[in-house]
Structure 1
Amino acid sequence: MEPEALLSVRDLRIAFHGVEAVRGVSFDVRPGEVLAIVGESGAGKSLTARALLGMLPPDAVVSGAIRPDLSAHRGRRISIVPQDALSALSPVHPVGDQLAAAVRSVSGLGRKEARARAVAALDRVGIPDAERKARAYPHEYSGGMRQRAVIAMATINEPDVVVADEPTTALDEDHRDQVLRVLGERREAVGAALVLVTHDMDVVREHADRVLVMYAGRLTELGSADEVLSRPRAPYTAGLLASLPQYAPPGRRLPSLRGTPPAPGALPPGCAFAPRCPLAEDACHRREPEPQEAEGRLVACHRWAEVPHPAVELFREQPYVSS
């Protein structure tokens, strides 16, 4: 039996000036799991994640349901690890003071106790000489250490849900693995669920329990990460996987998805992915598919049953020619 959801999102819609950027997305977040939200730029994944925290711009018009609403408990029951750690930290206050302030904002602890909690949090995420580094300012930290510091801030009050919005985008591979390992350790230690927004399918493969694939503001595929990555049923998911080096056979070049995602205000009729899809037929250009049960996951595709195995063959057309 699956555990009861910590969060349930139903028919989430986010519009700006009458144009929908997120269009009817539904999913659950379960205790202790890593739910990855993936897709190309403009898919709506960061908007979806930030809606969980009530951190959308003031001109956003939001409908649908997020239950329970944790946005009023930001920092205590739900928190965020932002993409840009440097801009997330105040440049004029020591890092330890900022963590202590986060503790005091949700507890009755005094300054001394909050300070001790801050130093302990920095130590837990692997900041060396945490007592001394707590007195340092963000610009005195390396990029990887700053990212660890915001993870410490996001987890210091032991929230139920941590949202990590592209937390490794600006990091090299070593720092990426380091940050993801620390995030995983803290998630396990406090029992929190992690909503991981990323464009990196390798990160999904290595760290996610379930994956939500988004395209043009909608759910394209949602299911177990193992099942979705091993046998995708949506052509768009297959296209994302086809670009990974481990799927490249000898003598063939890495394929890529042709074209670009449509702008929210210029969606084509029918399925938004149809102009780029090798399986598209007339019906795909006329009618937008609704998410349906398909082999243990949700898929929004008219022709999901015809996606071959391995699905990445859909996008392999040209032999590799060395330059």
Structure 2
Amino acid sequence: MADVLLSVRDLRIAFDGVEAVRGLSFDVRPREVLAVVGESGAGKSLTARALLGMLPPGATTSGEIRLRGSLDLAAQRGRRIALVPQDALSALSPVHPVGDQLAAAVRSVARVSRKEARVRAVAALDRVGIPDAVGRARAYPHEFSGGMRQRAVIAMATINEPDVLVADEPTTALDEERRDQVLRVLAEQREAVGAALVLVTHDLDVVRDHADRALVMYAGRLTELGPAAAVLGRPRAPYTAGLLASLPEHAHGRRLPALPGTPPAPGALPPGCAFAPRCPLATEVCHRSEPEPQQVEDRLVACHHWAEVPHPAVELFQVTRHASA
């Protein structure tokens, strides 16, 4: 399709023969924000790393990931696709000034002088709102605050104007004010360079406020994929409903429920639908047959009983508070 920038088809990621991502397919369109959500262990970060050709040692993969038609992801990393990491302090070298690191990123993809690379590095720090960019370019990462470090890695990711940014939990460990600041800077820089954004997050408020589409993952597979407003406004997958039910805004005087049980380990998946042991709608077919993603209205849904998910869907998991509570 002409409007597809990044295409993922039947992606499988395994360790010692055990699949952690299982047959995942999706597209990313130019300039859109695709949020990838799900509980820990769903395969979100592994998927993000696969997009960059940065999987950990021991991982084996199959399927296809194409960026503008090319399968050579490693050659495009830093140029056409770039990472905004979760831990900015670990992503930055502690022994080199921040400006030098940004300049090195420039020279890794462009034949420019050290002076020109330095000028671009200072300009990038200035664009993300770091005051006294000339002076701060000479500072080391430990001399930056947490929020400033996160701005610096956004500057590094966008300095070569990539087509796709991959942000893996970019606001983890930041308070609400700094979270909003970082997300605003990320949005501004994405718009400035015209990039699409794959945003890995557990924060559904972030998805609601910043994403065009949402990909909900469970046990390494697609559970629901569609317009973010529609997926969060009226989910068709029980798992999505369970995530939403845990938000404080749905309490209404009742005890907030947690999803029953825990996600299965990759090597211990139940037969049939992996979510069936935790799902209030599960029937015999769910325990026997794993549902394939199917087109439902404006989205893809992998659920045998999507038509039975009520509206509002959070009622599937809400629990009335006991009178003594």
TM over 0.5: yes
The alpha carbon displacement at 1:322 in A equals 7.7
Which residue, 141, 145, 164 being the options, matches 1:142? 145
Post-superposition shift, 1:253?
1.6
**For 1:30 and 1:101, how far apart are their aligned partners in 2?**
29
One-letter amino acid matched to 2:31: G
Counterparts of 1:320 and 1:186, CA distance in 2 = 48
Structure 1 residue 110 and structure 2 residue 113: aligned? yes
Q: Distance in 2 between matches of 1:278 and 1:318?
A: 16
1:25 aligns with 2:27: no
Q: Is the contact made by 1:269 and 1:285 (CA closer than 8 Å) also made in structure 2?
A: yes
> Identity rate of aligned residues, in percent?
82
Hey, what's the Cα distance between the residues in 2 that align with 1:153 and 1:254? 40
What is the CA-CA distance between 1:3 and the residue it aligns to?
6.2
Name the CA distance, whole Å, in 2 between partners of 1:106 and 1:320: 62
The question of whether the paired residues in 2 share the 8 Å contact of 1:10 and 1:26 is answered with: yes
Does 1:88 pair with 2:87?
A: no
Aligned partner of 2:309 in structure 1 is: 307
Residue type of the alignment partner of 1:49: A
Which segments of structure 1 move beyond 2 Å, counting only runs of 4 or more? 68-71, 320-323
Residue of structure 2 in register with 1:248 after alignment: 251
**Relative to structure 2, which stretch is displaced further, 63-72 or 290-299?**
63-72
Q: For the Cα contact (< 8 Å) 2:256–2:319, is it kept in 1?
A: no
Three-state SS of the structure 2 residue aligned to 1:195 is: strand
In 2 relative to 1, CA 287–79 (structure 1 residues): closer, same or farther, beyond 3 Å? same
Alpha carbons 1:292, 1:299 under 8 Å: kept: yes
Does structure 2 conserve the Cα–Cα contact (< 8 Å) formed by 1:52 and 1:71?
no
Q: d(CA) in 2 for partners of 1:287 and 1:42?
A: 22
Tell whether the 8 Å contact from 1:236 to 1:277 is kept in structure 2 after alignment.
yes
Q: Deviations over 1:282-313 (max 9, x none)?
A: 11011000000111100000000000000000
1:274-293 aligned within 5 A: 274-293=276-295
Cα distance change of structure 1 residues 231 and 3 upon mapping to structure 2, 3 Å threshold: farther
Moved more, 67-76 or 286-295: 67-76
Question: Could you tell me which residue of structure 2 aligns to residue 61 of structure 1?
Answer: 60
Give the structure 2 partner of residue 226 of structure 1: 229
Contact 2:9 2:64 in 1 (8 A): yes
Matched, 1:188 2:183: no
2:264 alignment counterpart: 262
Aligned to 1:151: 154
Superposition map of 1:161-200 within 5 A? 161-200=164-203
Distance 1:39 1:322, change over 3 A: farther
Aligned residues: 321
- Cα RMSD, aligned residues only: 1.2
Unaligned runs of 5+ in 2: none
Stretch of structure 1 that moved more, 310-319 or 82-91: 310-319
Shift, 1:244, TM fit: 1.0
Q: Offset of 1:320 from its aligned partner?
A: 6.0
Contact kept in structure 1, 2:35 and 2:211, CA below 8 Å: yes
For residue 23 of structure 2, what is the amino acid of its counterpart? G
Q: What is the deviation of 1:321?
A: 5.9
Shift in Å, 1:233 = 0.1
1:210 corresponds in structure 2 to 213
TM-score, with normalisation over the residues of structure 2?
0.97
Q: Distance in 2 between matches of 1:43 and 1:209?
A: 21
Q: Contact 1:35/1:196 (CA < 8 Å) preserved in 2? A: yes
Select the residue among 264, 271, 274 that pairs with 2:273.
271
State the alpha-carbon separation in 1 of the partners of residues 171 and 111 from structure 2. 33
Q: Tell me, in whole angstroms, the C-alpha distance in 2 between the residues paired with 1:296 and 1:208.
A: 16
Distance 2:257 2:62 in 1: 38
Q: Of residues 125, 129, 136 in structure 1, which corresponds to 2:128?
A: 125
